[in-house]
Amino acid sequence: MGLFRQYGDDQKYKSVLRNGAMTAILLFLAVLTLFPIYYMVISSFGPPNEIGAASYTLFPKYVTLDSYKFFFGFSKSSFRWIVNSMIVAGVVTLSNVVFAGMAGYAFAKVRFPGSKILFFLLLFAMMVPYQVTQVPLYILVANVLKLTDTYTALIVPSLVTFYNVFMAKQFFSSLPTSILEAARTEGCNQFQILIKIVIPISKTILSVMAIMTFMGSWNTFFWPFLICNNEQMQTIQVGLKNFSFANTTYFSPMMAGATISALPMFILFFTLQKYFLEGVTVGAVKG
């Protein structure tokens, strides 16, 4: 009995050590992840007159909102950058949820000639690096269509992404076909099945698509920087570069702008957090 009791105590002791080690590792990784966000927010409360100076203290000596005032007063376009980002990210997110969702449903549940070949071409297009397509896309949009410095140029190239179509197709493929056949027996057409049956049970994947698409569109820098020369048409991510010059940088106002630009993503994520966490496990459990 003593040996069994000692063995049980040893196992319990090892389990406590293992759990403690895992907790310490997770806390360390959490600190590494959250520290840049913390440093961004803390730096945004620094004085704007310290041009080119970055405060490397973890706790500011005093807190001021002057950098936020400086951000909005720096240029007449400061507020317009946020509006532009909201318009572009909002339209891109809505179009991807609607059209990529419909395309994914069509590939998964609708039989039509050439569907497998077309889906294979979409998979092949996903393998092409994003940067490779920027030069021909810029030539088409700027030189051929003459759409520089327009919302059309910012929105149209991202109206539907291959990744969202693929993700929607994989989710809709897991839906029981018997439900759709029952609805078809009751006289529903494809559009009615999509609106009344498929969408209500697909809130999880559509919410995940909305979060990922909004974050990607909101944070994108290269394409808006490439296609917009007019300061009035720049997005918030491109506008932040205006606080950096050849010889100096308005560090605290730039961090204030970065903090403001991060707020919509935090709001969207925490609003749809329930669906996002459910979406992580979509397809992980069967039966």
Q: Rounded distance, CA 125 to CA 119, Å?
A: 10
The yes/no answer on whether domain 76-280 falls in CATH 1.10.3720.10 is yes
pLDDT of residue 28: 93
Percent of the chain with pLDDT over 90: 23
Of the candidates 217, 206, 197, the one whose C-alpha atom is nearest the C-alpha of residue 275 is 206
Which of residues 50 and 87 earns the better pLDDT score?
A: 87
Of the candidates 186, 187, 217, 178, the one whose C-alpha atom is nearest the C-alpha of residue 100 is 217
pLDDT of residue 284: 46
In degrees to the nearest 10, what's the CA dihedral of 89, 92, 97, 102? 180
pLDDT score of 22 more than 70: yes
pLDDT of residue 276: 64
> Which ranges of the chain does DSSP label H, i.e. alpha helix?
2-44, 66-74, 78-95, 101-109, 115-126, 134-138, 151-155, 162-173, 177-185, 190-193, 203-219, 222-227, 236-239, 251-271, 273-280
Mean pLDDT across the chain: 83
Q: Rounded distance, CA 87 to CA 85, Å?
A: 5
pLDDT score of 184 more than 70: yes
Q: Rounded distance, CA 165 to CA 118, Å?
A: 12
| Predicted confidence band of residue 208 (pLDDT cuts 50, 70, 90) | confident
Structure tokens at 7: 């063995």
- The least confident of 72-81, 102-111, 228-237, 243-252 is 243-252
State the Cα angle at 220 between 222 and 136, rounded to 5°: 40
Residues 106-133 pLDDT 10s? 898 888 888 889 888 888 888 888 888 8
